[in-house]
Amino acid sequence: MINFNYETDFKLDSEEQISTWITDTVSSEAYKLEEINYVFCDDEYLHKLNVEFLNHDTLTDIISFDYSVGKIIQGDIFISIERVGDNAKDFNVSFEEELKRVIIHGVLHYCGYKDKTDDDVKLMREKENHYLSQLD
């Protein structure tokens, strides 16, 4: 089950399509989806979580809390709509493309992909691009 929660005025246009896409991605990676809760918020909301839970005093676009057990995916993904908008401008892509990239980025972390090393980042981008192409 995928739940979308909003702590800001933003609202996804196509919750059902996005849910199906996420579920298909998880299946393609040979995992089983139990539950993912997305929380769309602003910078202030996410910054508080970043400081409180991760001890990072910085702005970020996404924080994911992974409660998965083995191949059963469960977690909470918090996304700052403000950061996504700023990053879209910085990367010269549409807001929608950047948002979808961030949405699937969190799921890929739950599927075991990392982004700490250059090789990890390269593989993560390849996977993001692959699954973004599945949504079109």
Binding-site positions: 105, 109, 115
Burial class (CB in 10 A: 0-12, 13-18, 19+), 105: buried
The tokens describing 43, both together, are 């910078």
Three-state DSSP at 41 gives: strand
The tokens describing 45, both together, are 């909301």
Tell me how far CA of residue 106 lies from CA of 31, 45, in angstroms. 14, 18
Binding residues for Zn(2+), as ranges, are 105, 109, 115
Provide φ and ψ at 23, rounded to 5°.
-60, -45
Tell me how far CA of residue 118 lies from CA of 15, 109, 124, in angstroms. 33, 15, 10
CB 102 within 8 A of CB 84: yes
